[in-house]
Structure formats: structure tokens, C-alpha cells
Amino acid sequence: MLSSLALGDGNNLGTADGRIALDCSIRETRQGHYVISTTDFFFPLVDSPYLQGRIGAANVLSDLYAEGVQHCDFVLMLLAASLDMTPQDRTICTNLMVRGFRDACTEAETTITGGQTVLNPWAIIGGVATSVVTRDEYVSSDGACVGDVIVLTKPIGTQIAVNVHEWRKRHEKKAKNGDTTGDKNWNKILEQNKNGDEFLTVSESEIMMHAAVRSMSKLNRFGSKLMTKHNAHAGTDVTGFGLLGHAQNLMDNQIAKVGIELHTFPCIANTLKINDNIMNFRLRDGYSAETSGGLMISMTEADAIAYCAELREVETVAYNYNTSSDAGTDFGPWIIGRVVESADRKATITEDAVYLEV
């Protein structure tokens, strides 16, 4: 479609001549700087309007961070206040969404300078993020080389965690209203629980959702800040197309004829059993959609090892990962694949791929 409108080449090969590719628009100004900008918005996937706002901001900023941009200069807010809520509920929820969005932008050390507000059946929040940089202040998305490895900074499985949470909440709501039919998918989990050891407890489903929310609401800013320091060759972030989908998008944009072999899938604990036994979200196939996912970065193995070590150290301090409740938890990042020669620029999964519970 973009090709027919002269807005793309149909293959996402590069961003020259105004073509559209990957995460951001990157354009050189008349003054010799580069304007990097992106836009995104977020539908309700969580119970808390505050967290929805925070995830919405993390989601839009992530596209800038995928380019190795260390600082976002300003953000415009896109806001839809819900027509389907009562005026009182709309006021409360919209206020909290904006507060969550603002707090995430404050953490990112950027400023909201304006935006656009509409009325809409669903409450939606997002924005336009912009940064003005010199050429050495961002990472081009097209420089992956044979021999590079692929780093991922957040686990996958958020779509499954959010859905399990929704199934349970719907089941409990029906029970409260005297409806004994429950939710069909949560009923499948209850049936699995009857077959011996508990398949998934309510507590485990809550922990799964908590892990997903922590991941979705965490900014990719530290991962981005270290990309130029550790000589990243290319990067993107993992969102709606899933791990393999975004790996393929990344390869479609490379100058060299290279592909990716994914060998490790770090999954939020218990999401794999849901995928394998309750509903196939294509998590093992690499196509389970993610929201505000991690950075996927191509760099040499030596640089990747140093990058992962420093990012773990920085985020452990920043997010207080040494608390007793986090003991033994693997927050990443992980080396998940390698860049290989590929005339077709294909991203694939190795036959012996490892699926981690993190």
C-alpha cells in the first residue's frame, strides 16, 4: 500500500528519500542536525489508568530509544477521553492517565509541550516523541554485520499475561453476579488444576501480570544510553509483531545481506504453559504480540557481553533489584541470537532454541 502511494519501496529497505521504515522518522535538517521522531498510542490493557498512562509514554519513547537516542527533547500528548464512562469516572481516569504519562516523561527527563485531545468510546493515550541529534548521537538501524549477536533487554510474554489476567477478572465478575458459567479460558485452567498438581494458581497469575506490568511500564532509556557506548550496529524494539516479526523487520532494513538466527527466548514465568496448553499465542513461534517490549540490538559478541553486564548493573541500582522480593529474579538482558549471512535476509528460529522462564 505504501509503495502504491510512493511512501515506501514495499520492502522496508532503508529510509532514504523519505521512505518509511522501522521505528522512527530520521531526517537531516537544513542546519545539518537530525530530527528523530515517532508516534504511538496505547489502548487499555491494564486495570489502572495511571499505569496505562505510564505504559503509553514508555511505548512511544521506546521507538526513540531503539535508535540509541539518549535524550528525548519533547513529547506531544495524544489523548482520548472516554465517552462510555460517566462524567465523574471520565474525569478521574483521564486525570490518572495523564499523570502516569507525565511521570514517565519526567523520569525520562523530557517535557510534554502540548498535544491533542478528543472524545472517543475508548480511553486512549499516546504521544509524539522528538529528539534533535548530531550524527554520532544515534545508532543507524541498518548496520548489522555477520558475526554480530542479538541482545534483548526485556522478556516476552506480555500478551499472554494480560489475557490470563483478563480471563480471571471476567470469571470472578461473572461469579459475583451469580453466573456460574465463568470464563471459558479460565475454566480450562481450572480443569488443568484438577488433573493433579495445580497448573496455575491465582497467585501465580497475579505474579505473571505484575511481571508484565513492570516490564511494559519500564523505560528503555538505560538500554538506549549504552548503545552508542558499546558500538551497537543496529536496533529496534519488540512490540506488536512479536520477537521473530521484529527480527525480520530489522533484517529487511539492513544494508548487508544478513539474517538472524534466534536461539533463546526469555519468557515471563508461566506464560509458556498457557501458550502450550490453554491457547496458542504463537509465543514459541516468535509472533506473540508485545506491548512496550525490550530493545533488540545487533552488536559484536564482545560488545554485547560488556553491554549486558553494564546494563544489569545500572538497572539493578536504578530499580532496586536487590530487594528480597526480587531475589533470584532474572531481569535480563539476554543474548538471544546471532547475525548470519542470508541472501534472503531471513530471520529464523534454530531447531535447538531454548525457552527460558524468567
List all residues 6 or more positions away from 334 whose beta carbon is below 8 Å from its beta carbon.
Answer: 151, 152, 264, 266, 308, 356
Domain 2-133: assigned CATH number: 3.30.1330.10
DSSP per-residue string spanning 43-92: ---SS-HHHHHHHHHHHHHHHHHTTT-----EEEEEEEEETTS-HHHHHH
- CATH 3.90.650.10 in the chain, residue ranges: 148-160+213-357
Judge whether residue 303 has pLDDT over 70. Answer: yes
336, containing H or E segment? strand 334-341
**Residue pLDDT, tens place only, 72-121:** 999 999 999 999 999 999 999 999 999 999 999 999 999 999 999 999 99
pLDDT the model gives residue 146: 98
CA distance 318 to 329: 16
**Strand duo 74-82 + 124-133: pairing:** antiparallel
pLDDT the model gives residue 327: 61
pLDDT the model gives residue 9: 54
pLDDT the model gives residue 282: 98
pLDDT the model gives residue 21: 57
Mean pLDDT of 322-338: 81
Judge whether residue 63 has pLDDT over 70. Answer: yes
Judge whether residue 7 has pLDDT over 70. Answer: no
Q: Which of 98, 106, 42 is nearest to 74 (CA)?
A: 106
- CATH 3.30.1330.10 in the chain, residue ranges: 2-133
Mean pLDDT of 245-267: 94
DSSP per-residue string spanning 285-310: TT----SS--EEEEE-HHHHHHHHHH
pLDDT the model gives residue 234: 95
Strand, coil or helix: 221 = helix
pLDDT higher at 20 or 327:
327
> Positive or negative, the Cα torsion across 118, 49, 101, 45?
negative
Domain 148-160+213-357: CATH superfamily is: PurM-like C-terminal domain (3.90.650.10)
CA distance 274 to 195: 15
pTM (2 d.p.)? 0.93
